[in-house]
């Protein structure tokens, strides 16, 4: 152990190595609930790729597991420390290296926050779509490692759709460059998209080239309130079927609406059992037509109220309810956010099933999520001090995934597996896919150095 620290000290600048036990504590956990974390031996605050290479080589040599870390905003425990590990944090590799406006890409280090990158490219008239709710405090490296989604996925897709190429430090310290800077390219296996979403188990991302889009038009926004979750789900199906192109389509259930009401004093009608919020950024008459279509369909499907925003500021106000949802639920107790994605045609069934779970287990569950792509975040609210409630919360959390799978969905739409859902992954993908995961992991990391025990074990 001391030998490891000594060897690191010899090759790293002093500011790149943390061995102080108090400081180390803050590098133990991401934001997942119910996931254990061990004590790291040390934390490397890499300033450049060479630091990552050196640290990985020394750790591999010493047989010490490496846990790569971004901003620790993840929700599945993928970044949690392992007992006796070396944490390699990328938070100090936080420079945007290049923004190219014709080929439309940005080259960035992994420690840059999503919001910082998004704003930097917006200043050049460009748009980086992936927008996780945590965008102000999550890093691009973490987004890549978990293949993050966000609110505008319904129109623009997820992180992997924007990754052109990566620089990756492999388990043996070699530096792999994947992909390209061109729009298209099919030279060899798609190593880029294999690394994206692999949660630091196959390599450590030290640089990324990300595709950008031209900036979108100003969004038009509307909201609709329903007196049942089921009718809201049915309206969603008809909205999708209409082919209208929305840049956002969110839903909140009664529990969430009430939490937002009391937290933000928003005066949403108390009889509302579900709220939909829709945006179109098609611009001009097209955007207005999109929103009008959605409003018409919502009324047809029994909306008790439809609000069309007159301007972007009013639109932002409508969205504020959604943005405040998680914090509002947090006021009610400890929250545990699930992340199930179901076929859109089964959303109404899913919402009903979650209501039933809540009744059966006598536990509060607020449902919110990205209705446009079926990615729901049922959020279990409980008193963590009460062991019985905590057990029921855990049971509800699992039951939600079970229902998701039964409806043809997946246990994670955007938060990833980490430690939290490792057993459930086996359930979802089955033994053949698990064996392929293990074979790939063993091929790229034969000594099991990188984030061992995460995703697959």
The whole-angstrom separation of Cα 254 and Cα 237 is 20
3-state SS, residue 113? strand
> Of residues 226-245, which lie at the interface with a copy of itself (CB under 8 A)?
237, 240-241, 243-245
Chosen residue from 136, 284, 327, 359 binding a copy of itself by CB under 8 A: 284
- Rounded CA-CA distance 416/134 in Å is 15
- Asked if 106 contacts 100 with a C-beta cutoff of 8 angstroms, the reply is yes
Please pick, from the candidates 24, 120, 194, 384, the single residue that binds a copy of itself as defined by CB under 8 A: 194
193 binds a copy of itself (CB under 8 A): yes
Q: Rg for the chain (alpha carbons), in Å?
A: 22
Closest approach of Cβ 127 to a copy of itself, in Å?
A: 9
Q: Does 417 bind a copy of itself (CB under 8 A)?
A: yes
Determine, following the binding rule CB under 8 A, whether residue 416 of this chain makes contact with a copy of itself: yes
Rule CB under 8 A: which of 366-395 touch a copy of itself? 370, 373-375
Binding mask of the shown chain, residues 105 to 134, with x at each position contacting a copy of itself by CB under 8 A? --------------------x---------
Contact present, 280 and 291 (Cβ < 8 Å): yes
Rounded CA separation 328/262 (Å): 8
Could you tell me if residue 453 is left (phi over 0), alpha (psi between -120 and 50 degrees) or otherwise beta? Answer: left
Nearer to a copy of itself, 14 or 188 (CB): 188
Give yes or no for residue 428 binding a copy of itself (CB under 8 A): yes
DSSP string, 240-283: HHTT---SEEEEEEHHHHHHHHHHH-----TT-SEEEEEEE-S-
Instruction: Give the C-alpha distances (Å, rounded to integers) separating 380 from 36, 157, 235, 351, 358.
Output: 19, 27, 25, 14, 9
371 token code pair: 């209705």
Nearest by Cα to 302 from 321, 277, 278, 274: 274
Identify residues 75-104 at the interface with a copy of itself (CB under 8 A).
100-104
The residue range among 85-93, 256-264, 309-317, 434-442 that interacts with a copy of itself, by the rule CB under 8 A, is: 434-442
Of the chain, the end-to-end C-alpha distance in Å amounts to 24
E runs forming strands in 94-203: 96-100, 105-108, 126-127, 163-169, 175-179
Nearer to a copy of itself among residue 190 and residue 320 (C-beta): 190
Which of 218, 296, 437, 447 is the binder for a copy of itself (CB under 8 A)? Answer: 437
Q: Which is nearer to a copy of itself, 188 or 387 (CB)?
A: 188
Pair 95, 207: CB distance under 8 Å: no
Indicate which single residue of 7, 92, 181, 447 sits in contact with a copy of itself (rule: CB under 8 A): 181
| In the complex, minimum distance from the CB of residue 236 to a copy of itself, in angstroms, rounded to a whole number | 9
- Give the interface size with a copy of itself as a residue count (CB under 8 A): 88
Site string for a copy of itself, 198-227 (x = CB under 8 A): x---x-----------xx------------
Which positions from 392 through 411 interact with a copy of itself, judged by CB under 8 A?
Answer: 408-411
| Nearer residue to a copy of itself within complex by CB, 13 or 446 | 446
Q: Which is nearer to a copy of itself, 269 or 446 (CB)?
A: 446
Torsion of CA 370, 376, 381, 387, to 10 degrees: -150
- Could you tell me which stretch among 156-164, 260-268, 292-300, 305-313 binds a copy of itself (CB under 8 A)? 156-164
Q: Distance (Å, rounded) from C-alpha 128 to C-alpha 163? A: 11
User: Taken in order 380, 382, 387, 388, is the CA torsion positive or negative?
Assistant: negative
306 pairs with which residues across the strands?
A: 224
Q: How far is the CB of 207 from a copy of itself (least distance, A)?
A: 14
Least Å from the CB of residue 176 to a copy of itself:
5
Q: Which range touches a copy of itself (CB under 8 A), out of 37-45, 219-227, 258-266, 277-285?
A: 277-285
Report how far residue 405's alpha carbon sits from residue 388's, in angstroms, rounded to the nearest whole number.
26
Give the residue with the Cβ less far from a copy of itself, 24 or 175: 175
Q: Are 332 and 389 in contact (CB under 8 A)?
A: no
Of residues 300-339, those binding a copy of itself (CB under 8 A)? none
Q: Does 36 bind a copy of itself (CB under 8 A)?
A: no
Tell me which residues in 339-368 interact with a copy of itself (CB under 8 A).
341-345
């Amino acid at each position: 152990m001391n030998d490891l620290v000594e060897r690191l000290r010899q090759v790293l600048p002093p500011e790149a190595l943390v061995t102080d036990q108090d400081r180390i504590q803050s590098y133990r956990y991401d934001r997942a609930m119910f996931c254990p974390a061990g004590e790291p031996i040390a934390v490397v605050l890499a300033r450049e790729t060479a630091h990552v290479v050196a640290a990985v080589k020394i750790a591999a040599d010493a047989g010490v597991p490496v846990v790569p870390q971004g901003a620790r905003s993840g929700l599945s425990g993928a970044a949690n420390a392992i007992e006796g590990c070396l944490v390699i944090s990328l938070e100090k590799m936080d420079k945007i290296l290049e923004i190219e406006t014709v080929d439309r890409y940005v080259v960035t280090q992994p420690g840059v926050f999503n919001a910082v990158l998004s704003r930097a490219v917006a200043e050049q008239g460009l748009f980086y779509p992936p927008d996780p709710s945590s965008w102000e405090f999550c890093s691009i490296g973490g987004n890549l490692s978990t293949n993050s989604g966000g609110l505008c996925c319904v129109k623009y897709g997820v992180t992997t759709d924007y990754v052109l190429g990566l620089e990756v430090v492999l388990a043996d310290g070699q530096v792999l460059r994947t992909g390209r800077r061109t729009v298209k390219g099919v030279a060899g296996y798609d190593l880029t998209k294999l690394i994206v979403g692999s949660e630091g188990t196959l390599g450590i991302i030290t640089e990324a080239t990300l595709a950008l889009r031209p900036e979108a038009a100003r969004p038009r926004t509307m909201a609709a309130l329903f007196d049942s979750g089921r009718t809201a789900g049915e309206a969603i199906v008809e909205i999708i079927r209409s082919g209208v192109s929305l840049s956002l389509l969110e839903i909140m259930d009664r529990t969430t609406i009430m939490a937002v009401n009391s937290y933000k004093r928003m005066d949403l009608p108390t009889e509302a059992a579900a709220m939909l919020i829709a945006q179109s950024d098609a611009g001009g008459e097209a955007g207005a037509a999109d929103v009008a279509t959605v409003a018409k369909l919502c009324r047809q499907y029994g909306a008790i109220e439809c609000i069309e925003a007159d301007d972007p500021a009013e639109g932002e106000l409508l969205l504020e309810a959604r943005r405040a949802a998680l914090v509002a639920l947090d006021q009610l107790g400890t929250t545990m956010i699930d992340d199930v994605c179901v076929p859109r045609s089964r959303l109404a069934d899913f919402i009903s099933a979650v209501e039933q779970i809540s009744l059966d287990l006598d536990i509060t569950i607020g449902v919110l999520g990205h209705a446009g792509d079926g990615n729901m975040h049922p959020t279990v609210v409980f008193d963590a001090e009460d062991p019985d409630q905590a057990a029921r919360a855990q049971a509800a959390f699992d039951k939600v995934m079970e229902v998701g799978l039964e409806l043809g969905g997946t246990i994670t739409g955007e938060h990833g597996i980490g430690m939290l859902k490792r057993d459930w992954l086996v359930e979802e993908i089955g033994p053949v896919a698990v064996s392929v995961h293990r074979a790939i992991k063993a091929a790229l990391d034969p000594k099991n150095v990188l984030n061992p025990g995460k995703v697959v074990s």
